[in-house]
Structure 1
Amino acid sequence: MTTVVWAGGLLRGEDDPIITAGDHGWTVGDGVFETLEVVDGRAFGLRRHLRRLAYSAARMGMREIDHEAVREAVGEVLGAAQGLRRLRITVSSGPGPGPLARGEGPHTIVVTANDSPPPASCHAVRVPWRRNERSALAGVKSTSYAENVVMMEFARSRGGDEAILANTHGHLCEGATSNILIERGGEVLTPPLASGCLPGIVRGLALEWGADAGLPIRAAAPGELEMSVLDEVVAGESFAAVTSSTRRIQPLASLDRAPVEHGPLLLQLGTIFEERAAADSDPAPKHSK
Structure 2
Amino acid sequence: MTDRLWFNGAMRDRDAVHIDPADRGLLLGDGLFETMRVHAGRIIHLARHMARLYAGLGTLMIPPPARTEVEAALARVITENAMQAGSLRLTITRGCGPRGLLPPEGAAPTVMIVPFPPAATPMPEAHLVISRMRRDETSPLSRTKTLNYLPNILALMEARQRGGNEAVLLNTAGRVAEASASNLLIQRDGMLLTPPVTEGALPGIARSVLLDMRLAREQALTRADLLGAEAVLLVSSLSVREAVSLDATPLPREPSTAQRIRAALAS
TM-score, structure 2 length as denominator? Answer: 0.89
- After superposition, where does 1:85-164 map in structure 2 within 5 Å? 85-103=86-104, 104-117=106-119, 119-164=123-168
The percent identity for this pair of structures is 33
- After superposition, where does 1:272-283 map in structure 2 within 5 Å? 272-278=260-266, 281=267
Cα deviation 1:214-251 (Å, max 9, x = unaligned):
x5x3111xxx4123323335xxxx3210110111x332
Stretches of structure 1 lacking an aligned partner (at least 5 in a row): 282-289
Cα distance in 1 between the residues matched to 2:4 and 2:176 = 37
Aligned length in residues? 263
- After superposition, where does 1:208-227 map in structure 2 within 5 Å? 208-209=212-213, 211=214, 215=215, 217-220=216-219, 224-227=220-223
Stretches of structure 2 lacking an aligned partner (at least 5 in a row): none
Moved more, 19-28 or 81-90: 81-90
The Cα of 1:73 is off from its aligned counterpart by: 1.5
Cα distance in 2 between the residues matched to 1:218 and 1:28 = 36
- After superposition, where does 1:72-91 map in structure 2 within 5 Å? 72-81=72-81, 82-91=83-92
Q: 2:232 aligns with which of 224, 236, 240?
A: 240
Q: Secondary structure at the match of 1:253?
A: strand
Cα deviation 1:9-68 (Å, max 9, x = unaligned):
222222333321111111100001001111112111111001100111111122223212
Could you say what the CA RMSD is over the residues aligned between the two structures, in angstroms?
2.2
CA contact (8 A) 1:54 1:65 kept: no
User: What letter is aligned with 1:63?
Assistant: P
The Cα of 1:192 is off from its aligned counterpart by: 0.8
Cα deviation 1:129-186 (Å, max 9, x = unaligned):
1101112412111011122111121123334332111100011110110111011244
The Cα of 1:4 is off from its aligned counterpart by: 3.7
The Cα of 1:71 is off from its aligned counterpart by: 0.9
TM-score, structure 1 length as denominator? Answer: 0.83
Shift of the 276–174 alpha-carbon distance from structure 1 to 2, 3 Å rule, reads: closer
Shift of the 42–154 alpha-carbon distance from structure 1 to 2, 3 Å rule, reads: same
